[in-house]
Structure 1
């Protein structure tokens, strides 16, 4: 094995413009860890939150920093005490940067910790349920697109306790989380109302949305209230900042639910209603969650929602595109060798 690898690297906090592809030492696994030759990695907004220092008080980075949480690849080396995986196993999953261990243990447990997935090799903790075997029928790019988005969607579905026939407004349906959540809601026999631009209407309808509100030409709150004067059963927010959720809560019926996946969460006491069930979720992996998501993808319940593919050399540009351009589904970086 070569002693160095190529990786997307940040040398300090800042914007995606600071990212570059550099040669880095290949990380080696310690006790309880596995080394993975990464085949595909997916971008997440959380990568950029960490890079910009928005979570530095609770999740400080160590530099040079390799971003990237979601990955798929092949085990190339195992550390002492690892029995769950063997060299040659195809795996996929997600992990927080190793330096943020205190934060991830407190808020996102039990995710693995990683040396950074946007690289040719990564090291991860082997015992976390957020890393698992990849089924042979699930290709690497689809597997890499699943973890954070899928685990977040599962948490939202569980938190919302959605029942067949209920109306659910999904704000931010075209992104990675929405591309998993909308099909799962449709399978749960919910009536899904998705927000999406006109160019994405066919996409979200294929995912399972029965109604679409074009957020570019209509006020979402006003339009949802016009269609459902008594309110929808639940709203899932995957896009709007906390200060917009007071208005959004007006679209929810009495006794309904508002679930939020955007951080930071609204301050306590933000809402004047005492009948509204509120929940802000963090990504978490229960044993079997990734396996369940992989099974649904194999069975066709979760359509492939990959917006664009990049080579590793274009990894910094992929992060710039995530910020500057409208994206549909997940952005995937393939490791070319």
Structure 2
């Protein structure tokens, strides 16, 4: 089969399309013919070697976690899925099992989804049947971004009428958080470039602050001098979050999903609460996301589609270019 392969740690330049053996399912596993796979910054974070001490990769390594596809074989003991089922979800490369404790429920493990076939652990809420109303490329773009957005909503306990500033509204997570907040009747103020204002308003943002403003914090203070009820950060580095915290009213909430996460001790003495939110699948979460995507409550934003042969370039674009929503590799396109 064809797959995107890295033979050592490095930047996206180490990725290439190569022929590798088709993986076969063992007990408790399913084999999937991949229809589409969405790219995530975490794929490149692992490849860079920054997590090698926690979860060293084994080479050759196939990246990818978010996917949609059709079950083509099942291992012994699998009764949740059958051959021919259309499925979608997210998974971790097998060697990163040590990182599973970061998730709300055990994730599936995979041979890597940016490939024509992948093998995944079947018994996890991070996999689900794909409804016919949801196209494969849209389903592949949902899992990590959507599950993280759901975790943000749960952690934030948002109430109708609250004001929430979303920093970094055009990325994968931001593009999922904004419409879910809007559906909860929250007044969303989002940061985005001027060229993306119409896009972010289309997601449900009531106001947009130009992220290129000379002083983003000052402009946000001008908009809400009494402070926001909450701030959702998907873009600012940890070193800037303490300063951004002054945008919050006393007792406000700062929810961070950006990597690396700052030390919670940096916020000692602040008059707001701070929490880093990790995505994770609970039973039924993917079904909820699929239903919201199908009925239009959660627009699935795909910034660009690539063929498998173009996937190494897609990873380079993920790093080098401004993107809206998710970049998706479509197999056989």
Q: Which band: TM-score by shorter chain?
A: over 0.9
Partner-residue secondary structure (3-state), 1:76: strand
Answering whether residue 178 of structure 2 is matched by residue 182 of structure 1, we say yes
Q: What is the SS of the residue equivalent to 2:123?
A: coil
Distance 1:106 1:210, change over 3 A: closer
Correspondence for 2:133? 137
Match of 2:195 among 193, 196, 199: 199
The TM-score normalised by the length of structure 1 is: 0.97
DSSP-derived class of the 1:264 partner: coil
1:29 aligns with 2:16: no
Is 1:225 equivalent to 2:221 in the alignment?
yes
Match of 2:272 in 1: 276
Secondary structure at the aligned position of 2:264 is classed as coil
Q: Distance in 2 between matches of 1:231 and 1:170?
A: 13
- Aligned residue in 2 for 1:153: 149
Deviations 1:140-181, CA, capped at 9 Å, x for gaps: 000000000000000011101111000000001001111111
Q: For 1:106 and 1:220, locate their aligned partners in 2 and report how far apart those are by CA, in whole Å.
A: 32
Deviation beyond 2 Å, 4+ runs, structure 1: 105-109, 272-275
Alpha-carbon deviation of 1:305?
A: 0.5
List alignment gaps of at least 5 residues for structure 1. Answer: none
Is the Cα contact below 8 Å between 1:257 and 1:276 reproduced in 2? yes
Structure 1 equivalent of residue 290 of structure 2: 294
1:317 lines up with 2:307 in the alignment:
no
1:104 maps onto 2:100 in alignment:
yes
Q: What is the rounded CA distance, in whole Å, between the counterparts of 2:264 and 2:154 in structure 1?
A: 22
Give 2:281's aligned residue: 285
The Cα shift of 1:107 comes to 4.3
The secondary structure found in structure 2 opposite 1:110 is coil
Q: Does 1:169 align with 2:165?
A: yes
Instruction: State the partner residue of 2:237.
Output: 241
SS at structure 1 position matched to 2:166? strand
Give the superposition deviation at 1:220. 1.8
Give the secondary-structure state (helix, strand or coil) at the position aligned to 2:266. coil
Contact persistence 1:110–1:286 (CA under 8 A): no
What does residue range 15-164 of structure 1 map to in structure 2 within 5 Å?
15-107=11-103, 109-164=105-160
1:57: Cα distance to partner? Answer: 1.4
How far the C-alpha of 1:285 sits from its partner, in A, is 0.3
Secondary structure at the counterpart of residue 270 of structure 1: helix
Give distance in 2, aligned partners of 1:141 and 1:38. 10
C-alpha separation between the residues in 2 aligned to 1:246 and 1:315? 37
Choose from 255, 262, 265 the match for 2:261. Answer: 265
TM-score by length of 2: 0.98
